[in-house]
């Protein structure tokens, strides 16, 4: 750079520095028009503008990057704006306005001083380069703080979820701690606990949130190797094919602990029976007693299953046939069609089962006992 250009830029830089106070006032007036900046004290804005004037004048003199300390200052400013709740778009708008203000004042002074076009172009280039460089630092600081806030909120949400599910908070404490998440004493909620063999709990949590909808997901997080949510309405969206979830509700805040215990029992029962999707009390009404009364299951298994299993050659075939028969309203034609066998073949198998167990398949009470024994057998065969 020629000595002439250097001297011209130094002249303008000196006069620009003298205008720092007026430029700060103008920037304060501009940011006052940005609603989110109402939380930022005016002295902070004035201080930021003064720093920018000093940096611009240094850049005009050839000191384009004053150093790492300036970058840290801008990052800290960005972090502070994020903590003050100023959106990143507003931060960027205010910063760009401030740089444009300095550019316009530079050009005004340059024209008044008769500075050459080459000097003005070089000066504007340095101002914008400086603005881009430190604007990136400002936005990086804002993003870092935003991520920190998000992580903190997520930790608070997960901790609150655990307290709610474990019943370690009073209703008043839940309302106070959950106000920001939407917990209210006068509302009723659903509790869901889900499990998947192929999806980790955090990813499963996000899946549940998408299925329920963000407006209806009050609390969500990983819990005990599963995903758990408190919802303002039942899940209606689709889940992955290998997801099993127990759903309980609706319940008030004071009953959420009991609701979660029920959702857990439903999930465990559904898992034992190999069910997929969302199961509630209605869907598991008959199978829950099978899980909860293993002694009766053992007795019925010995009565109706063990004698058939002793027929090792055809035992499984007989039991599969009886199960198909019971699940199709004891209709031999429907069951035979489902098994892809002739009706007479099915009749033979049912007669053989009856002979081995001395069971009357026309007796409703007996068929219910057989159904219970078959469900217990299936439950025992399923991994936990």
Which pLDDT value is given to residue 1?
A: 62
Q: In the structure, what pLDDT confidence band is assigned to residue 358 with cuts at 50, 70 and 90?
A: very high
Mean pLDDT of the chain: 88
**Residue whose structure tokens are 């655990």:** 162
Q: Is the pLDDT of residue 195 over 90?
A: yes
Q: Is the pLDDT of residue 65 over 60?
A: no
* Per-residue pLDDT reduced to its tens digit, 246-295: 999 899 999 999 999 999 999 999 998 888 899 998 888 888 888 888 99
Q: In the structure, what pLDDT confidence band is assigned to residue 383 with cuts at 50, 70 and 90?
A: low
Contacts of 61 (CB under 8 A, 6+ apart): 6, 9, 10, 13
Q: Is the pLDDT of residue 202 over 60?
A: yes
Judge contact between 63 and 70, C-beta under 8 A: no
C-alpha count within 13 angstroms, C-beta hemisphere, residue 120: 15
Q: What is the mean pLDDT of residues 296-303?
A: 94
Q: In the structure, what pLDDT confidence band is assigned to residue 382 with cuts at 50, 70 and 90?
A: low
Which pLDDT value is given to residue 247?
A: 94
Cα gap 171→168, rounded to integer Å: 10
Q: In the structure, what pLDDT confidence band is assigned to residue 339 with cuts at 50, 70 and 90?
A: very high
Q: What is the mean pLDDT of residues 85-99?
A: 88
Which pLDDT value is given to residue 302?
A: 94
* Per-residue pLDDT reduced to its tens digit, 207-249: 998 888 888 988 999 998 999 999 999 887 778 888 999 999 8
Cα gap 124→89, rounded to integer Å: 24
Judge contact between 257 and 174, C-beta under 8 A: no
Which pLDDT value is given to residue 64?
A: 55
Q: Which pair of tokens denotes residue 103?
A: 């550019």
Which pLDDT value is given to residue 67?
A: 62
Q: Is the pLDDT of residue 38 over 80?
A: yes
Q: What is the mean pLDDT of residues 358-373?
A: 94
Which pLDDT value is given to residue 345?
A: 95
Cα gap 91→42, rounded to integer Å: 15
* Per-residue pLDDT reduced to its tens digit, 344-356: 999 999 999 999 9
Burial label for 102, CB within 10 Å (0-12, 13-18, 19+), is buried
Which pLDDT value is given to residue 335?
A: 94
- Strand-pairing partners, residue 248, are 191
Q: Is the pLDDT of residue 39 over 80?
A: yes
More confident of the two residues 72 and 261: 261
Which pLDDT value is given to residue 333?
A: 94
* Per-residue pLDDT reduced to its tens digit, 139-154: 888 888 888 887 888 8
Cα gap 276→197, rounded to integer Å: 11
């Amino acid at each position: 750079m020629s000595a002439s250009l250097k001297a011209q830029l130094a002249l303008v830089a000196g006069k620009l520095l003298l205008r720092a106070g007026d430029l700060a006032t103008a920037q304060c007036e501009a940011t006052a028009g940005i609603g989110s900046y109402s939380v930022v004290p005016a002295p902070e804005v004035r201080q930021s503008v003064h720093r920018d004037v000093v940096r611009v004048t240094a850049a005009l003199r050839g000191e384009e990057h004053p150093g790492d300390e300036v970058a840290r200052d801008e990052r800290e400013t960005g972090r502070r704006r994020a903590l003050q709740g100023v959106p990143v778009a507003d931060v960027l708008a205010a910063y760009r306005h401030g740089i444009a203000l300095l550019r316009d004042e530079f050009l005004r002074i340059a024209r008044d001083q008769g500075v050459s076009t080459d000097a003005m172009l070089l000066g504007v280039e340095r101002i914008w380069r400086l603005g881009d460089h430190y604007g990136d630092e400002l936005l990086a600081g804002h993003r870092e703080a935003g991520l920190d806030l998000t992580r903190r909120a997520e930790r608070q949400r997960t901790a609150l979820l655990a307290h709610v599910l474990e019943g370690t908070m009073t209703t008043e404490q839940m309302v106070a701690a959950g106000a920001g998440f939407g917990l209210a004493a006068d509302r009723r909620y659903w509790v869901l606990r889900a499990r998947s063999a192929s999806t980790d709990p955090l990813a499963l949590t996000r899946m549940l949130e998408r299925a329920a909808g963000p407006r209806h997901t009050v609390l969500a997080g990983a819990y005990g190797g599963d995903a758990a949510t408190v919802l303002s309405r039942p899940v209606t969206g689709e889940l992955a094919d290998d997801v099993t979830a127990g759903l309980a509700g609706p319940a008030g805040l004071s009953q959420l602990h009991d609701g979660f215990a029920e959702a857990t029992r439903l999930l465990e029962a559904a898992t034992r029976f190999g069910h997929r999707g969302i199961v509630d009390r209605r869907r598991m009404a008959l199978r829950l007693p099978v899980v909860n009364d293993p002694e009766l299951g053992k007795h019925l298994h010995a009565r109706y299953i063990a004698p058939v299993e002793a027929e090792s050659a055809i035992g499984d075939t007989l039991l599969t046939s009886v199960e198909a028969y019971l699940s199709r309203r004891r209709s031999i034609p429907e069951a035979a069609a489902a098994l892809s066998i002739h009706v007479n073949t099915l009749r033979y198998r049912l007669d053989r089962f009856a002979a081995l167990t001395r069971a009357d398949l026309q007796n409703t009470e007996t068929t219910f006992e057989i159904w219970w024994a078959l469900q217990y057998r299936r439950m025992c065969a399923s991994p936990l």
